Each structure stands twice: as C-alpha cells, then as structure tokens.
C-alpha cells in the first residue's frame, strides 16, 4: 500500500493495495475481469485502487484474455507469496493441496487471504483461522458459500447481535436446477442431469453436487458463522437427490409440494441438528419459489424473525464478485483509521442528483373507468385510448342494465406515462364518465429463475 | 476502550467499548435489552464487551425496566457527548432537531455515531458524512432502512464490486400490511388501516407511511448506497396507497395480480429514475410473496443478476438488532489491526461439535410403497404403520387390475425418524411389496408472513 497515511489523496497519489492471485481458471479470470472492468467504480467506492501484481498459473503458454497480461503471470508461487508489496493473496486454485500450504505460507508472512475454497475451509478451517489470528491478519471466504448472496457477511455482521435459531439453505445450484427441471418438464432424473450438464449447470462428474457433499461442506461453513460451531462435513447426515423419481415429483405436485434439496442447521438442547436431504416443500413456502440454479438461505433468529437471502449461487461471475467484495472489505480494513479512511457513505465521491421526469417512464397500466352503461360508451373510451396510441391488452366490463353506473377495467399494453395520462384526461372528460379514472401501474412479470 | 493493545485477553481483562445512548424510547429500550440479554454471545463474537455508560432521557422519573438503571440516566446531553471514555454515540431520538446538533457535536469530538434516524440521514446526510469524514470516524445507519434486513451492508460491501442496475423495495411495512389485509380479507382501505393501527402496525397518524413519504426517505438512502447519488426525498415521484379500493384489489386478483407499494430506483442515461407507487405485481413475481408487515429489497446487478433480501422491516427488536449490529461493526473497526483483533471466523471461541443423531428428528413423510394390488394389501401396510405409531394423513392408491404392480403414496403425520424407519423396514418385508419403499421428508408449512 503506497503511499499511506498522507491523505487526503488527489488523483495523482491515489492509495493502492497490491494483490496477488493463486490460480487463473474460471473464477480467477472472473476476478481479473471484474477488477479491470469496474476499476473506476471500485476506486470511487474505496478512494483507493486495487492492483494485481502477480498471477500464479500452471501453464504460461495458454492463451488468456487481456485482463491477464503475460507479464503478470508466473509459475513460481514464491513470486506471489514472498513479495513484500503484496498485501492480499487471493487463492482460487481449489482442492486441498497445494492450496493449504500456500495459504499458510501467505498468512505466516502476515498477508491477508481471500479464498473461494469451500472444501478447504470446511475441512482445514481450524488451522487456517488459528494461523490468521496468530499473525493478526484476516481470511475472508464469502465466495465459498452461495457466491451471489452475501450470506456469510450477513451472518457475521448483520445478524451478529441476534440469536440464530435455524438456517435452511438451498445451497447447491445443480441440485435445484435438476429438481426444478424435473418439476417443470416431467423429465427423469437422468435426462434432467444430462440437460444440466449441457447447460453448464452440472459437472461431467456430478457426484459432489448431486450426492449432497458440496451442500454439506457449505452447511459446515454456515454453522461455523451462525453458531460458532465447527462440524466436520463428513459427520453431517447427507442424502443426495439421485433417489428422486419423476413419479415422486408428480405425486408431490398433486399433493401440493415441490422437491427441494435442503441443507438445515438448528440448535437443539442435545447439540446441533444438521442435515442435507431432498425434501417435499409446501408450494406456498417461500423456499418453494427458488427456481433453476438460484440459491437461497432462510435464517430464523430470535429478534429478527425470518429473513431470506436469495440470489445466484455459483458461476465465475457471482463467485468472482464475492471474491472482489472480500478484497474490497480487506482494503477498507487496511485503511481503517488511517488518515483518509474510506468514506462513510460507501462511495468516496457522491453525486448530487435530481430524478429524471417520470413522464417518459413506460408501464402496462390498470385503468378502472367509471361509466354509465349506455350503448357506445365502450367505443368512446376505446377511441380516447386509440388517439393517444394506448393499446388495450384486456378489457373487462361488468354489464348491468343500461344507464346504470359500472366499472370498466382496462389493462393496457406497455405505454409511456405521458400518453396514458393524456388518454385518461380525455376519458375523464367524457359525459358518460361519472368520476376520475383509477389508474395504477403494473409491474413487468420478471420472475427470478 | 480499556485496556487496549495488550491482548490476548483473558476473562479478567476483556477489552471494552464504552457507548452512550441518546434516547430511551422503544428502540432505545430494545437496544439496551439486546445488549444485556445477548451480552455473552456478543462477547463471544467480538472478544470484547460493550458497556452502556450513559443514556439521555427526557424524563428521569419515568419507570423503566432493569436494563436502564437509574444511575445511567441523565437529562444533560453533555454527559454523553463530552465524556471522553464514550467512543460510540447511538442516536435514537428521531426527528431532525435536536438529533442533528447532537450528532454533529459527537462527530466533532471524534466519536463514532450509530443512528436509526432515516429522516435525518435522508435530508441532512451530506453535512453529517462530511463531518464524519473530516474527523476520521464512522456514521452507521443500517437501522434506518428495513431494520430486519442487512440491506445497506449488502449494498456497501457484498455488492460493492458489482454494478447495480435497479433496486425495487417493499420498504414500508404499514403499506404492505394494509394491502395484504385488503387482498386476503376483502376489507376496505379504511378498515384495514384501523386493523393495522389496532395491531400496532400503523401509527395513529399514518400519513408518513401510507402517503409514501417514509418509503421515499428510505429510497433516497438506498440510492445513495447503491449508486452514490444523493437525491432529495422530496424530489422523488411519490404516491401513497390511499387511492387503492377493494374493487381494485379484487379486479387485480381476477387479472392475476396483487397490489404492492414499490419503491424503485434505476440508473438511466437521463439520470436516476426514482418512484414510490402502489403497483400491480404479477402473482408469480417473487415480490408478490412478501406478506404482512415484512419488507423485501430486490437488487438487480450486472454480474450477480437478481438477489432478494427479505425480512422484518420495523419494530423495536429488528430495529434494535440493526443498531446493535452497527455497534458491533464499529467495535470490530476500533479493534482492527490492534494486537488481539477480533477473530476471523466471527466468534472468538469456536466449539468443536458433533451433530446429534438424526433418529429423533420428527417430520411428516412421503412414502411411495411399491405393492402388488391384491385384496388386503392396504390393510397390511396400514397395520405396519400402526404398529409403529405412524399416523396416516393421506393415502393415494392408483388402482389397476388385481395382481398388478401399483404405487401407493402415503403422507404421514409428523413422526420421529426412528419410528418411520422401523415401519418402512417392516413394510418392505411384506410379500406383496415388490421393491424398497421410497421415502422423503416433508418440510413443515411455515410460510413467511
């Protein structure tokens, strides 16, 4: 970090945190890309820049994109681990070794560590945390569980003062994708797995995912952060989804349930109750709405009640984002209470803004037109709408006797605010209209899936 | 903070952060109670204790519970603001003045500030942030927006490296409670409001809530943290829910929609588009599932896609929790990079744990028994279940010709694991059973509402 403690800094002497990456696969590439593409945003939020100095790779000759220039690459881990300028080491190799040895080496040199390695954290967390604590540095691993949801951060900070009673997670995107596909299409498990593999949502060897082992590792990390309990993933009652047949899916559907693979941790007087199981979930349950490869974690705690975190679980970009968020958090810590600490409002420069006028917003609209039911009124209302190019998607009219007041409900196509306002003003001026038209906007039907 | 920098600390010399409270109403009482009731948990997470030294109140004589002993109370703000031992000032008075003057005074004395005051932060944030930055201290306000959801923290950190494109919030619990009640019971707006007031979900003067002003203030804060844009809440196009009639609710329902009051912020080339409106939301939309007084914030960002944060919005306990989480975060900052910094794994002591056996778990179960359709088989399966006290809730049998193989689907009542396992083992031993019974657990039907 150079220079340091002499802020406030102009553009010319912006503070800098130097980092090194171990591994340049999918997630490593995502991290490099995010750091480069969002450089301006990150500098704006942090009041400092993040520079990648070295990237450990297996093969120097492989073609890589422009975010990983040849000059940064090395096959010698010491160039990352022993460089005194590098403050944060980001481990993205996966697997136990050599990741474990390299992270311990980084910590022993008082470097902070960010990792996405859930298997390593779930099985060797104890020795890693102990070494980090001894050296007074941090080890961040938000990306290890449900990358697209900052759930570890929420458990560590947002819910830090509450007593958590139960956590239920849909934490394996492959399982959820397969079960969801079986529900929607009636496909067999084997066919849904093949589809998931073709779509990139399942590995060629899917055992760790569909067997529940991946979810058990994540549950072990969630249990650590929620309850301060360390549990060996191998000790968790774990059941995969391979037993679930199309027949079961259909029978569950008829009974009002959908299948979900749930990872659950509860505190009980007899100790923690932990399990990973495919379960039938009532369709009206909030966890039943989690579609495709999305993840969700439902937290039940004493004071807050139920809170749900829902988002994309895996993939290079969500995982890369979680890694970069961990890096940014460490930079904030590094700068904390230096002169020129990062801004309290999350951005180092705030722009004063005025909202744009809403007249060019476009929505579908619900109109309730109050009319006297006389012949021709429908046509006159339709003409007003037509003159302002407001297309009608649906029209419902409760017909009573002629001359009686009725409510005519119109659903419009997506149309700019100004046009629908003008049309409504004209409608409200018609003789047969008995009061101001009720109008509400309709939210577009984007579901999460 | 005494003592400091001499860690590691035993129980005898645990580090301490001293705080002062301004205000002792509902939220203040919640904060004091949470700090006291969860003292052990907080110390375990933080490796330090939090001590309330002074509480500013209006009336010394009012009866208060044991978490606010008389000796801590004062009517003189200087006893909080000028005490050099107090490192964090927690403002819970609400309103603009005297809160503004007191917070500025605290910041000018280099004290960190935690506040739940959304009106103040939304309208005077600029001067407060500037003073905090000048003094090198922090001002945390997680409790100002949707206390039960750590959404500000997620925007500031979890999504810090992503580019946020749109935020849509159900951020006013009163509005959602009223609209949800109108949908479920067919009540008029006036009756639903009365019910909400009786149930404590609406103020005697509900104008700020039902008129959309509260949501506009929260949207202004969300916009600041998501986009780094400062927008005057008064400049946001804001519409309350008072226009929504039972007829509209029923018509929307028939058309496949529910009413929600949505606060939305989007980046557009012409500037930020901000609005607070009651809108029709398709029933299958994830925001349509937000019930009662719950809040939810849907974040759409470039890399992460859609993520949803869902939980209790307001009330003394969720708001108090958010305040205490902010206090804990500040304590972590205060200790950061001292000797004996807080533990990297969120707790200062981790317990090695073994999960309890799953045999005494109790669930409803789905059984698919594969039988030959002969007379009496139903009775024999039922007898097996009965002998192990497994009550049947529902039984479905596809009947074909006698002697043919059929699948008999059974839904059991809630029954301990060991009993249902024993019953299934016995069933699978029957001559007419053609293969192992498929069994899955059923999640209990707790919906969020």
Q: Summarize pLDDT for B268-284 with one digit per residue, the tens.
A: 887 888 999 999 998 87
Distance from CA of B161 to the nearest CA of A (A): 6
Whole-angstrom Cα distance, residue B310 to residue A306? 8
Q: Which of A187-191, A279-283, B348-352 has the highest mean pLDDT?
A: A187-191
Whole-angstrom Cα distance, residue B165 to residue B244? 29
**Which of B260, B337, B361 is nearest residue A136 as measured by Cβ atoms?**
B337
| C-alpha distances in Å from residue A48, one per residue of A20, A53, B130, B138 | 17, 16, 18, 18
Q: Smallest Cα–Cα separation from A318: which of A149, A72, A78, A134?
A: A149
Mutate to test the interface with A, among B160, B229, B289 (most CBs of A within 10 A): B160
Q: Which of the residues of A are catalytic?
A: 218
Helices (H), B136-212: 151-153, 173-185, 189-198, 207-210
| C-alpha distances in Å from residue B344, one per residue of A152, A158, A233, B339 | 12, 16, 20, 13
- Measure CA B394 to chain center: 36
Task: Quote the pTM value.
Answer: 0.78
Map out the domains of chain B with their CATH numbers: 15-147+317-335 (3.40.50.720), 151-313 (3.30.360.10), 358-442 (3.30.70.260)
| Residue B430 tokens, joined | 């029957």
Which pLDDT does position A449 carry in this prediction? 42
Residues near A56 by Cβ (< 8 Å), separated by ≥ 6? A20, A21, A22, A23, A24, A74, A75, A76, A77, A79, A80, A93
Which pLDDT does position A12 carry in this prediction? 44
DSSP 8-state secondary structure symbol assigned to residue A196: H
CB B50 within 8 A of CB B35: yes
Edge to edge, the sheet with strand B88-91 lists B73-74, B48-56, B15-22, B88-91, B112-115, B139-140
| Residue A201 tokens, joined | 């949502």
* Confidence at B169, pLDDT banded by 50, 70, 90: very high
Question: Rounded to 5 degrees, what angle do the CA atoms B2, B6, B12 make?
Answer: 65
**Which range among A301-315, B319-333, B416-430 shows the weakest confidence by mean pLDDT?**
A301-315
Residues near A355 by Cβ (< 8 Å), separated by ≥ 6? B231, B235, B236, B237, B271, B272, B273, B274
- Contact check, Cβ <8 Å, B224/A350: yes
Residues near B436 by Cβ (< 8 Å), separated by ≥ 6? B370, B428
CB A370 within 8 A of CB A435: yes
- Confidence check on the interface: ipTM exceeds 0.85, yes or no: no
Size of interface A-B (CB pairs under 8 A): 405
Whole-angstrom Cα distance, residue B160 to residue A140? 15
- Contact check, Cβ <8 Å, A228/B44: yes
Q: Which helix (H) or strand (E) holds B224?
A: helix B213-227
Checking if the pLDDT of B197 tops 60, the result is: yes
- Contact check, Cβ <8 Å, A308/B310: yes
Whole-angstrom Cα distance, residue B240 to residue A284? 29
If 0-12 CB within 10 Å is exposed, 13-18 middle and 19+ buried, where does residue A49 land?
middle
Checking if the pLDDT of B175 tops 90, the result is: yes
Whole-angstrom Cα distance, residue B122 to residue A317? 33
Distance from CA of A42 to the nearest CA of B (A): 6
What residues of chain A lie within 8 A of the CB of B424, using their CB? Answer: none
If 0-12 CB within 10 Å is exposed, 13-18 middle and 19+ buried, where does residue A42 land?
buried
**Which of A126, A251, A355 is nearest residue B237 as measured by Cβ atoms?**
A355
Active-site option among B111, B118, B218, B260: B218
Mutate to test the interface with A, among B253, B303, B406 (most CBs of A within 10 A): B303
Whole-angstrom Cα distance, residue B205 to residue A278? 48
Checking if the pLDDT of A164 tops 50, the result is: yes
Whole-angstrom Cα distance, residue A152 to residue A225? 7
Q: Return phi, psi of residue A279, to 5°.
A: -135, 160
Checking if the pLDDT of A319 tops 80, the result is: yes
Residues near B413 by Cβ (< 8 Å), separated by ≥ 6? B364, B390, B391, B392, B393
Region B150-163 average pLDDT: 74
**Which range among A219-228, A411-420, B428-437 shows the weakest confidence by mean pLDDT?**
A219-228
| Residue B162 tokens, joined | 């992503």
What residues of chain A lie within 8 A of the CB of B162, using their CB? Answer: 34, 38, 321
């Amino acid at each position: 970090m150079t220079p340091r403690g002499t802020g406030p800094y102009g553009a010319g002497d912006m503070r800098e945190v130097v980092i090194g990456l171990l591994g340049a696969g999918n997630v490593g590439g995502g991290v490099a890309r995010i750091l480069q593409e969002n450089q301006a945003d990150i500098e704006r939020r942090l009041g400092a820049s993040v520079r990648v100095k070295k990237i450990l790779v297996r093969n120097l000759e492989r073609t890589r994109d422009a975010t990983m220039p040849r000059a940064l690459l090395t096959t010698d881990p010491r160039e990352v681990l022993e460089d005194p300028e590098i403050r944060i080491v980001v481990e993205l190799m996966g697997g136990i070794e050599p990741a474990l040895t390299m992270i311990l080496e980084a910590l022993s040199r008082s470097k902070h560590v960010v990792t996405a390695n859930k298997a390593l954290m779930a099985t060797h967390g104890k020795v890693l945390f102990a070494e980090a604590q001894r050296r007074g540095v941090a080890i961040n691993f938000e990306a290890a569980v449900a990358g697209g949801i900052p759930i570890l951060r929420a458990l560590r900070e947002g819910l830090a003062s509450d007593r958590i009673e139960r956590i239920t997670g849909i934490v394996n995107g492959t399982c959820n994708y397969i079960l969801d596909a079986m529900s929607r299409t009636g496909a067999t498990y084997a066919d849904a797995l093949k589809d998931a593999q073709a779509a990139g949502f399942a590995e060629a060897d899917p055992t760790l995912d569909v067997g529940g082992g991946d979810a058990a590792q994540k549950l072990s990390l969630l249990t650590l952060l929620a309850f301060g309990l360390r549990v060996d993933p191998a000790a968790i009652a774990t059941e995969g989804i391979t037993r679930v047949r199309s027949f079961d899916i259909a029978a569950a559907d008829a009974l009002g349930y959908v299948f979900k693979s749930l990872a659950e941790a509860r505190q009980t007087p007899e100790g923690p109750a932990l399990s990973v199981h495919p379960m039938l979930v009532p369709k009206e349950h909030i966890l039943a709405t989690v579609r495709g490869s999305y993840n969700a974690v439902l937290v039940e705690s004493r004071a807050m009640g139920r809170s749900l975190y829902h988002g994309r679980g895996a993939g290079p970009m969500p995982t890369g984002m979680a890694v970069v968020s961990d890096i940014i958090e460490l930079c904030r810590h590094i700068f904390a209470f230096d002169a020129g600490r990062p801004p309290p409002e999350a951005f180092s420069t705030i722009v004063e803004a005025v909202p744009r006028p809403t007249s060019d917003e476009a929505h579908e609209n619900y109109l309730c037109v109050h009319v006297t039911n006389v012949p021709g009124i429908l046509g006159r209302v339709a003409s007003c709408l037509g003159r302002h190019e407001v297309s009608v998607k649906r029209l419902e009219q409760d017909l009573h006797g002629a001359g009686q007041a009725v409510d005519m409900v119109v659903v419009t196509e997506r149309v700019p605010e100004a046009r629908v306002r003008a049309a409504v003003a004209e409608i409200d001026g018609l003789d047969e209209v008995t009061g101001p038209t009720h109008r509400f906007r309709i939210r577009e039907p984007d579901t999460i899936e």
